[in-house]
Each structure stands twice: as structure tokens, then as C-alpha cells.
Structure 1
Amino acid sequence: MTTIGFVYPDHAAEDDYPLAEKILGAGVRLPVAHIYGTDLHAVPELLDLGAPHRLAEGARLLAPHDLDAIVWACTSGSFVYGPDGAREQAAGLSRAAGGIPASSTSFAFVAAAKALGVAKVAVAASYPHDVSALFVDFLDAAGITVDGMSSHGVATAAEVATMTPEAVSDMAAAYDRPGADALLIPDTAMRTLALVNTLEDRLGKPVLTANQVTIWYGLRLAGASVASSDLGALFGAGTGE
């Protein structure tokens, strides 16, 4: 049994995690612990949301699950710290969880893009423009070229969670770029797990979404190799090296 814990901000699209657990089968457990702060997509609030004491609380709540790895399941609450700050954030989460492997959704996007051999991406972000631009900077620092970035300008995670599958699909199609190798959709508040294959069929390229890459990278941190035909190209070859 492989058990990956996820520290998830407030409530929005956390039902993607039990869905993934069902898809991936009996050998995988994906418990979620909620921490609370404001869900506003603004830099000061996001810095507070990803603060060490909040993530330590998430680690405490997940401790009874005997975790193999733990992930901060929040893109904006990690990339807003920049690469160095996000690394320290992940290191702090690892310490709070007893030294097990730890990371965040932002690093999961980087690892997923590199695993697929993706060098140039388009970004379909739900955030306001200034926050979206920080994600572009994070990717650029990791050597991933952003061919085009579009921001949907949604102010809160709660609003993102109300987006219908049709709205998500239409946003992805509108914000894709023909020259991009893949499309990235960076918000764990958006329900995307059941849509990944549909989006890839519509766009004709890999689509990386926040909850998808978070789960994939958590499994990879734990050394688990799990393949699925239901979770997009990323899961098509499993999670191992």
C-alpha cells in the first residue's frame, strides 16, 4: 500500500482525490487534510496561506495515516514564494511530517513537464494576471518556456470551484497555443481530473492540471509506479523513472 497525504487549502475541488484513489485502485491511498485561510488569489493572502505554521498543521492532521510522502496541494500558495522559497516551504513540510519526502503542486508541474519531454507550454490560469505571471516566472526559472499565458481573472478559489466541466473545457481550448507542446492548468481549486482525457482529445496534446500533477508527483516521491489510461498522457507510462 502506498499512502500519499495532501495538505489542501480550504474546500473546493478536493473530491478529485478520492476520484483518483478509485481510478488508481486498492494499492493507493490519498488522504486529504484541510487547512484554512483566505481563498483570495492575491499575493499577500497566498503568502499567508502557504505559511509554515499552516502546512505544519496539515502535516499534523495527516500523521495518523502513516504516509510515504506528503504534498502541499496548492499551486499559487507555493509558486508565490519563488523557486527558493518554495523549496524551503517543501523542506519545512517534510520536517513537520517527520522527514518523509515532501513537495508542492508548483514543483509537480515542473517535474511532470520534464517527464513528458515538454519544453514549451501554454498556461491557462484561473488567477488574476499578476498572480498568473508569477507562475510563468516559476516555470521560466525551471527552464520551461511559456509560449502563451492567459489569465481568467477569477478572484477566489471558491469561484473557481463553481466552474462547470464545459466552462473548464472551453477555457482550455480558448487559452491553448498552437505552438505549445502541452497546456498547463494551474489551480487545485478547479475540478479537472475527470476531464483530462477529454481535454487532451480536444486539443490534441498533453494537458497537465493541478490536481493531476499533484497526485502523480506524490506517487513519484514515494517511489510508486502507477499507470492509468484515465488520467491523461502523464499517467500513461506510470510514475516511475
Structure 2
Amino acid sequence: MQHQRRQSGDAVIAGLTVGVLTPHTAPGPEVEIPEMTSETLDVVVARITRPADATVAVPKPGSAAEHLRMLASPSAMHSAVASLREASVDVTAYASTTAGYAIGPVAEVAMIRHLRQLAGVPVVTSGLAATQALKAFGVRRVALIHPPWFDAELGDLGATYFREQGFDVVALTATSLSERPDRVRPEQVIDYVSANVDASTEAVFIAGNGFRAASTIDELERRTGKLVLEANQVLLWSILAATGSKLRVGGYGRLFARG
């Protein structure tokens, strides 16, 4: 379990403590969520690992979606959730867009209910947060921007995930970007999205909590004229709504400017 704290000078300002629950190893929300806030925000990270329970199904070789479904099982998450509860977090953020894709929105809602019972605090997920944000702005047609490390199956599941919730979807995989998350630069994301998003699209969702693109949102909205959402941005938006927190967010798109 990892713990990060934002400070102002030498003084720690009282704020929100967010528990990030994730099956991924690449840094994502624990980096971007504090960066988006202008006040202190603590982040406690608990990474989900494969359970020792022999009754849990073994994922198919090479299937990322099956592996994510296995890690979204109650037995897989129990230990990580318990560690967040011990840390007295105010909210649990399940940070895996692809896990939401793999299990689908109906199962994701059921997972949230189960996690809420285990954690004893509000629970939010990046996929359903994006859905709520799109609906709040009345969006019907959305462009999904997937990083190159999403395989074809996950890309198809992503399109299905949003179509099942009533959206018209265009799914794009940014294959021109590096397959290493730490090597993707903001200007590369801006150039790719600006060049590839269709004029008929009303909004853009940059998926993947390890695809750290929050810093591109304001420029992309300026260039495209469209609502731009990003996995960790919508996760923070949902966290603030779920907790009633008044933490200030400077910039990062129309989403936070909405009254």
C-alpha cells in the first residue's frame, strides 16, 4: 500500500483522503488527482493482486479482459479493500477503466455496491464516472481515445460498454503513441486527438487511468471546441460529488467549471 500527501509549504492542510483501488501497476490517479487540486489531498493506493483462493477461475492465457475480470472478483479485492479501510479513507476510487470495460456496466454497478459494503465509504469508478459526466452534458456521440497498450478486445469492449448505455461511439486507438505510459508526452496526445476526432463528435473521453493526459484537457477543449473527459479527471469529479467535498480544482476542462 502506498500513501501520498500534498503539502502547502511546511504545513499540511486538512483535506480529503482518497483510497485508490487498482489492479494496475502503472502510476495514474495517485499522480493526477493531487495535481488537479489546489489544496491538500491524501492518496492511499492499494493494488489488487491475484487471490490465493484456488476456486477462482484461472484467466485464459493472453487474455487481458479475463485477467481483469478475475481481479474484479470479491475474493481478489478483499485484502486490498481491507487495507484502505484500515487507512480510514473518505472514499474509495476503483481506478481501472479497462476492468469496467471487461465486466460491463451492469456488473460494475453491482461491484460498487459490494465494495461499498466492504469499505464503509462511498465508492466510485472511472467508467461510470465518465458515463455520468457525458449524461450531465447531454452528450450522445462520443469519441473514445484508447492508448496503444489496450488490445483489440479491450477496445471493442470499451465501445460496447458505452453503447450499452445509449451512446453513439467512435473508438480510436492511439497507435502512434508509445506503448510505455511514462514515455507519452502531452503534446503528442494533443496532436493525436486534434487530428483524429471527427467533427460530428460532441465529446472526447481519453480512457485508461494509467494514460495520464489530464494536462491536455484545457488545450484540447480550446482546439476542438468539444467537451473533453479523461479517466482520472472524471474520477476526481465523481469523488468530489460522492463526498460533497469543496476542494478547489483549477482548470481541467468544462467538467469542473459546470455550476
TM over 0.5: yes
The residue number in structure 1 matching 2:45 is 32
The residue number in structure 2 matching 1:6 is 20
The residue number in structure 1 matching 2:186 is 165
The residue number in structure 1 matching 2:221 is 200
**CA displacement at 1:58 relative to structure 2:** 2.6
Whole-Å separation in 2 of the counterparts to 1:18 and 1:26: 14
The residue number in structure 2 matching 1:212 is 233
Whole-Å separation in 2 of the counterparts to 1:159 and 1:192: 14
Deviates more, 1:136-145 or 1:226-235: 226-235
The residue number in structure 1 matching 2:210 is 189
SS in 1 for 2:180: helix
**Contact 1:186–1:210 under 8 Å retained in 2:** yes
**CA displacement at 1:203 relative to structure 2:** 1.9
The residue number in structure 2 matching 1:139 is 162
Deviates more, 1:195-204 or 1:206-215: 195-204
Structure 2: runs of 5 or more not aligned: 1-14, 51-58
The residue number in structure 2 matching 1:108 is 129
Task: Map Cα deviations across residues 39-58 of structure 1 (whole Å, 9 max, x no partner).
Answer: x7722122123232333233
Whole-Å separation in 2 of the counterparts to 1:162 and 1:20: 19
Matched, 1:93 2:115: yes
What's the TM-score once normalised by structure 2's chain length? 0.78
The residue number in structure 1 matching 2:84 is 62
SS in 2 for 1:66: coil
SS in 2 for 1:122: strand
Matched, 1:228 2:249: yes
Distance 1:209 1:224, change over 3 A: same
Q: Which amino acid letter does the alignment assign opposite residue 143 of structure 1?
A: G
Whole-Å separation in 2 of the counterparts to 1:200 and 1:158: 25
SS in 1 for 2:108: helix
Q: Which amino acid letter does the alignment assign opposite residue 102 of structure 2?
A: V
Matched, 1:21 2:34: yes
Whole-Å separation in 2 of the counterparts to 1:109 and 1:161: 23
The residue number in structure 2 matching 1:73 is 95
Q: Which amino acid letter does the alignment assign opposite residue 53 of structure 1?
A: S
Distance 1:121 1:107, change over 3 A: same
Percent identity of paired positions between Structure 1 and Structure 2: 25
The residue number in structure 1 matching 2:106 is 84
**CA displacement at 1:134 relative to structure 2:** 1.2
Distance 1:19 1:191, change over 3 A: closer
Q: Which amino acid letter does the alignment assign opposite residue 18 of structure 2?
A: I
Q: Give me the CA root mean square deviation.
A: 2.6
Q: Which amino acid letter does the alignment assign opposite residue 199 of structure 1?
A: L
**CA displacement at 1:216 relative to structure 2:** 1.1
Q: Which amino acid letter does the alignment assign opposite residue 99 of structure 2?
A: G
**CA displacement at 1:183 relative to structure 2:** 0.6
**CA displacement at 1:226 relative to structure 2:** 4.5
Whole-Å separation in 1 of the counterparts to 2:115 and 2:23: 14
**CA displacement at 1:167 relative to structure 2:** 2.6
Q: Which amino acid letter does the alignment assign opposite residue 107 of structure 1?
A: L
Structure 1: runs of 5 or more not aligned: none
Q: Which amino acid letter does the alignment assign opposite residue 104 of structure 2?
A: G
Whole-Å separation in 2 of the counterparts to 1:226 and 1:142: 30
Whole-Å separation in 1 of the counterparts to 2:110 and 2:91: 16
Q: Which amino acid letter does the alignment assign opposite residue 128 of structure 1?
A: D
Deviates more, 1:218-227 or 1:175-184: 218-227
Distance 1:18 1:42, change over 3 A: closer
Distance 1:36 1:196, change over 3 A: farther
Whole-Å separation in 2 of the counterparts to 1:180 and 1:227: 29
In the alignment of these two chains, the number of paired residues is 232
**CA displacement at 1:87 relative to structure 2:** 1.4
